[in-house]
Structure 1
Amino acid sequence: MPRLVLVTGGSGGIGSAVAQRFVGSGDDVVITGRDADRLARAAEATNARPVVCDVARPHDVADLVAGLGRPVDVVVGMAGGNTGFDDAAPAPSDADTPAEADRLAAAADAWRANLDANLISTVLTVEATLPQMREGSSIITVGSIGAEYAGSSYGVAKAAVQAWTAGLSAKVGPRGITANCIAPGFIDETGYFRGKLSVERRERLIGATHDKRAGLPADVAGLTWFLASPQARHVTGQTLHVNGGAHTTR
């Protein structure tokens, strides 16, 4: 029987590339996303099975896992993104300068949005699938090069994912399950920047790499597949960087 692979956030970009990589290996792949039309297009392109789901919502996740019908062998938590690039809500029209309480409330909402999209969505997905996972299964989460600086809600959320994954590895290791985090740098051909990436910033991001090129979704997909392969059974508790050397480890 083929492995059951769950890829959250599989409706585009890196998530679709990851789904396609596993489908190409003969796995039974389920992808999730919030936009039904976009998810359907991704499913048609990758031959994965689509399930509309907001993985930051507990009821959605519970329904998702209940509907799978059998234990998940590989969980890939690709859902997320920097909600700071979303269009901000307009300021109140009855005041030129928001009151301090309004400013703090807006800050709290912005931080919660990134924590929900990146950390909570990952935790809920793993919490829902883990009880039935079997020996030889793999959990792969997604961090970011931004976690190394963590000066924003997005960076902090991704740093939390990376730290949580390391602790998760110790918990699931005795069951023969691996848990690792992939931290991408600048990956081209995705919707991460919501169309707000300037030519100058793109050049700076590429210039910071050692190989002087942008990363591609296939770069992340290849590593994801390896971490779920038999060759990676002794690789666990790690954050693995895919950034062309823009951030190095020792």
Structure 2
Amino acid sequence: MTRTVLVTGGTSGIGRAVAARFAAEPAEVVVTGRTPAAVKETAGELGVRGVVCDATDPAQVASLADTLDRLDVLVNAAGGLPPQAPGGTPPLAALLAQWEASMAQNLLTAVLSTASVQALFTDGGSVISIGSIGAERRGGSYGAAKAALAAWNASLSAELAPSGVTCNVISAGYVTGTNFFQDGMTDTRHRALVEETHNKRPGTVDDIAAMACFLASPGARHITGQTLHVNGGAHTTR
């Protein structure tokens, strides 16, 4: 039977690569994004279904879930760095806005999306959330949100695994081919991030997409509640 896969934040970067990989199975893939033009373009190019949905908005997330009959794989790829506060914002107000935006974009998107579709999962389903090496170091509000994502994933696994649904986080290191850094990436910073790795190369969106497909495969059914680091050795565990 063809699997149904939902990828939030699936119009660019890692989310788009994940959607393309599952679509090639082939699976019935649904991608979401906040920008109608980007959703339409991605859906057309990948041959998937696109839904405009801001995953921080409970009403929009609930409406998205109502369009699905069943679900095999959910990939929580929505997220990113918080926007800068408008000029003239008092410092503490700007700090609060930054932290609230980080938590909303990188934690609550996954929490709301997962809760909305939880009853639709088939036995053998998978929840895969995209984390970050920023949770381990120098991550600020973004890293704190990704660390909270991993903590939430552990409790989610305890809840869903008895019904046959695995829950894991892919903690991505430095990945090229995304707009994550916007204009903040320089040649010097790029070289420094690559130098931190053991294999002396940056990650790619396909590295993350391949791990997502593995975690949703029959060979990964006993892997749940985990944070898997895909970073070329820039951060190691033991």
Structure 1 length as normaliser, TM-score?
0.93
Q: CA deviation at 1:3?
A: 0.9
Structure 2 distance, partners of 1:158, 1:74, is: 20
Q: Unpaired runs of 5+ in structure 2? A: none
* Count of residues paired in the alignment: 238
Structure 2 distance, partners of 1:245, 1:151, is: 18
Match of 2:86 in 1: 89
Match of 1:123 in 2: 111
Structure 1 residues 200-211: aligned runs within 5 Å? 200-211=188-199
Verify: 1:163 aligned to 2:151, yes or no: yes
Match for residue 184 of structure 2 among 196, 201, 210: 196
Contact 1:6 1:31 in 2 (8 A): yes
For residue 136 of structure 1, give the secondary structure of its aligned residue in structure 2.
strand
Contact 2:102 2:141 in 1 (8 A): yes
Q: CA deviation at 1:151?
A: 4.7
Contact 2:85 2:98 in 1 (8 A): no
Match of 1:98 in 2: none
Contact 1:136 1:176 in 2 (8 A): yes
Match of 1:60 in 2: 60
Amino acid at match of 1:58: P
Structure 2 distance, partners of 1:150, 1:213, is: 20
Structure 2 length as normaliser, TM-score?
0.97
Match of 2:206 in 1: 218
Contact 2:74 2:126 in 1 (8 A): yes
Amino acid at match of 2:126: S
For residue 181 of structure 1, give the secondary structure of its aligned residue in structure 2.
strand
Contact 1:142 1:183 in 2 (8 A): yes
Distance 1:151 1:195, change over 3 A: closer
Contact 2:85 2:97 in 1 (8 A): no
For residue 123 of structure 2, give the secondary structure of its aligned residue in structure 1.
coil
Match of 1:79 in 2: 78
Amino acid at match of 1:45: E
Structure 1 distance, partners of 2:157, 2:98, is: 29
Structure 1 distance, partners of 2:124, 2:138, is: 33
Moved beyond 6 Å, runs of 4+: none
Q: CA deviation at 1:87?
A: 4.0
1:50-89 deviations in Å (ceiling 9; x for gaps): 0000001000000001012x11110000000111xx3431
Structure 1 distance, partners of 2:67, 2:201, is: 41
1:67-120 deviations in Å (ceiling 9; x for gaps): 12x11110000000111xx3431116xxxxxxxxx3211111110001000101
Structure 1 distance, partners of 2:13, 2:174, is: 12
Structure 2 distance, partners of 1:132, 1:14, is: 24
Verify: 1:2 aligned to 2:2, yes or no: yes
Match of 2:43 in 1: 43
Structure 2 distance, partners of 1:151, 1:199, is: 20
Match of 1:231 in 2: 219
Verify: 1:25 aligned to 2:22, yes or no: no
Structure with the higher strand share, 1 or 2: 2
Q: CA deviation at 1:166?
A: 1.1
What CA RMSD, in Å, does the superposition of the two structures yield over aligned residues?
Answer: 1.1
1:134-182 deviations in Å (ceiling 9; x for gaps): 2110000111000002651000000000111011111111101100000
Distance 1:151 1:9, change over 3 A: closer
Structure 2 distance, partners of 1:187, 1:26, is: 26
For residue 30 of structure 1, give the secondary structure of its aligned residue in structure 2.
strand
